[in-house]
Amino acid sequence: MTDHGLMMPTVDTAGMILPVLCRHCGKAYDLATVGDVHHIGDCTIFDTPCCGRRADDRNLKSLPDFTRL
C-alpha cells in the first residue's frame, strides 16, 4: 500500500537497487541504472528505460514521474 491507501501493482523488482514505478507506462525499472542523466539546478533529468519518456526526480510536482517501490 502507498501512503494514500491505494494498492500498488505487484511487479518483479528482483535484482533492482532502486526500484520505481513509471507514471507514464506503469512498468517498473531500476532508477540506479538509468542512463543519459542531466543535472539542471537541483533536478536530475533522464529518459525512462521502460518507455523512453523524459522524466525528472522532482517529487514536489502534482504528478511525479515515478513512485518508489
Residues facing residue 54 across a β-bridge: 47
- The overall pTM is greater than 0.85: no
- Average pLDDT of span 35-42: 88
Q: Is the pLDDT of residue 69 over 60?
A: yes
Confidence of residue 8 (pLDDT cuts 50, 70, 90): low
**Pairs from 21-27 (Cβ < 8 Å, separation ≥ 24):** 21/66, 21/67, 21/69, 22/48, 22/50, 22/51, 22/53, 22/55, 22/65, 22/66, 23/63, 23/64, 23/65, 23/66, 23/67, 24/48, 24/51, 24/53, 24/55, 24/65, 25/50, 25/51, 25/53, 27/51
